[in-house]
Amino acid sequence: MLSDETNECIIIDPGMDSAEEEEQMTDYISEHHLKPVLLVNTHTHIDHILGNSFIASHYKLKLAAHKDSAQFIQRAKGQAQMFGMEMDSTKSIDIFLSEEETLDFGHSSLQILLTPGHADGSLCFYSKKDDFVITGDVLFNQSIGRTDLPTGDYDLLQKSIWEKLFTLPDETTAYPGHGPETEIGFEKIHNPFVAIGKELD
Ligand SMILES: [Zn+2]
Ligand SMILES: [Zn+2]
């Protein structure tokens, strides 16, 4: 969830799958007097969209994601059952995001980066003003997204990381979809899954 001084907020990849987790989210939002204005998915793997329907209906929000993410949403119900999770309904994408646009709320404007490789249509969101990037499942703290799921492509993932993320300033804080935050400059040196070793050898 991202908010700014206007108290408007956007909710990115709500993964909660229980009433308790839903309540934690709505409590946080009401306690901080936030006003959710948009639901966003970096990509639409099951663990990133489980809370979509709840959030969209509770706050009457539209869902924004890349058009290539639509294919996964259609498959999500079956996927959820496979993993023993319940998914009552799926929310379809209302607004297609592309690199030509920005992701705007309150006084904030995030640059949209198309970063396929982990999944087609994967997006990262970069704030130049506040020096951070939301990296979804593309780049993690000392790891990278898996490429063995449908539309996964290792070379494409490396290309996305090098061309879209490692071209950001070194001091940019990266917030991944899983695990602790990190910094772009740190990952360039310490991430063992990024092919920088070729240059160091
Ligand atoms: Zn994923
Ligand atoms: Zn994930």
User: What does the pLDDT look like over 43-64, one tens digit per residue?
Assistant: 999 899 999 999 999 999 999 9
CA of 32 to the centre of ligand 1 (A): 29
CA of 134 to the centre of ligand 1 (A): 13
Which ligand ends up closest to the CA of 115?
Answer: 1
Q: Is the pLDDT of residue 79 over 80?
A: no
How far apart are alpha carbons 102 and 19 in whole angstroms? 32
Which ligand ends up closest to the CA of 44?
Answer: 1
At 90, the pLDDT band (50, 70, 90 cuts) reads: confident
Share of the chain above pLDDT 90, in %: 85
At 201, the pLDDT band (50, 70, 90 cuts) reads: very low
Which ligand ends up closest to the CA of 146?
Answer: 1
CA of 43 to the centre of ligand 1 (A): 7
Which ligand ends up closest to the CA of 72?
Answer: 1
| Residues lying with their CB under 5 A of ligand 2, a single-atom ion | 47, 137, 177
CA of 117 to the centre of ligand 2 (A): 13
CA of 45 to the centre of ligand 2 (A): 6
